[in-house]
Amino acid sequence: MHFDWETFTYDEEWLREAVRIEEEAGGDISAGYGWGSQLGAVMANPQGYSHFAQLRSLVMQAWKQLVSEWDLGIGAEAAEAKGQELIMERLHRPEPEIQETLLVLLESKLSKPQGEWEMTEAVHGQIRAVFGKVLSQEDWKAIAASARDHIYSHVLKQEPVAVESL
């Protein structure tokens, strides 16, 4: 869980990663939760928030695993960040079929004692199917473009170094 309701603090590792992603993107990429007027409802139902956080973590873990399988090297972080942004946008109000799939996965996780649930290939496959349904062709192109642009930028930064070493 990213937020500790007892101490009202964020997990330090998650917070560092969120800050790093936003700095890399050059600003706010909506990595946080836009609670606004909903903060009272969130605080009144910390178990609901915990379940939301676990579901989000489950989906993002599957996304990160998928991106790592693509072997994008230095472009992986950019693809991962862009995909996370798009997935969270698309899952803001998911179709009933997508909701049902995700809720069944969450219930499965919650039914196991803490630490005993694992991200199996079957679970990963179900979440990949969700990605296939919620991400459009344009979204996939944007994810690929993010990786491409990051690699391109990195290579261009290396050009002066290569010339200086001659």
Q: What is the pLDDT of residues 104-131, one digit of tens each?
A: 998 888 888 877 888 899 999 999 999 9
User: pLDDT digits over 65-118, tens only?
Assistant: 999 999 999 999 999 999 999 999 999 888 989 989 998 998 888 888 877 888
Structural domain includes residue 19: no
Q: In angstroms, what CA-CA distances link 52 with 14, 26, 99, 130?
A: 16, 27, 12, 17
Structural domain includes residue 7: no
Structural domain includes residue 119: yes
What's the number of domains the chain is made of? 1
Task: Write out the residue range of the structural domain in which residue 152 sits.
Answer: 46-164
pTM assigned to the model: 0.69
pLDDT at 17 over 90: no
Structural domain includes residue 1: no
pLDDT score, position 1: 43
Q: Give me the mean pLDDT over the 25-54 stretch.
A: 60
